[in-house]
Amino acid sequence: MPPRTPATVETKTKQIYSLLREQIFQGVYAAGVKLPSTRDLANEFGVSRALIVDVFEQLIAEGYLEGRQGSGSYVVDLGGTKRQFYSQLQEIHSTGEGTVAEPPARFQGIDFRPSF
């Protein structure tokens, strides 16, 4: 077996994040649908609940999920298909709009949020 390099090995967090994000784009989890609980997903994937909580927090921060206290996490309506979403991103990038955005006031200073 060839040695593993950091570039070829994704963390479990990244793998689960990518899987859930892709399932949202593909409509497996449609807009407005409640996702399984963090405990259920942790059991399903064989990982800690904290890892799933981190994934959910990242998806919420990126606007894919909406957390409702005491109710769960729900998929946000992205307003179209994956292709439309990516074309909108490309439009923004090509026109230069949004490329130099100021961070929200609550995130000024040192950013301690986890990155993926």
Burial (CB < 10 A; 0-12, 13-18, 19+), residue 113, is: exposed
Local confidence band at 69 (pLDDT 50, 70, 90 cut-offs): confident
**What is the rounded CA–CA span in Å between residue 32 and residue 48?**
26
- Whether 47 maps to a domain, the answer reads yes
pLDDT at 29 over 50: yes
Give the CATH number, domain containing residue 72: 1.10.10.10
- Whether 66 maps to a domain, the answer reads yes
pLDDT at 61 over 90: yes
- Whether 90 maps to a domain, the answer reads yes
Provide the residue range defining the domain that includes 27.
12-99
- Whether 16 maps to a domain, the answer reads yes
- Whether 3 maps to a domain, the answer reads no
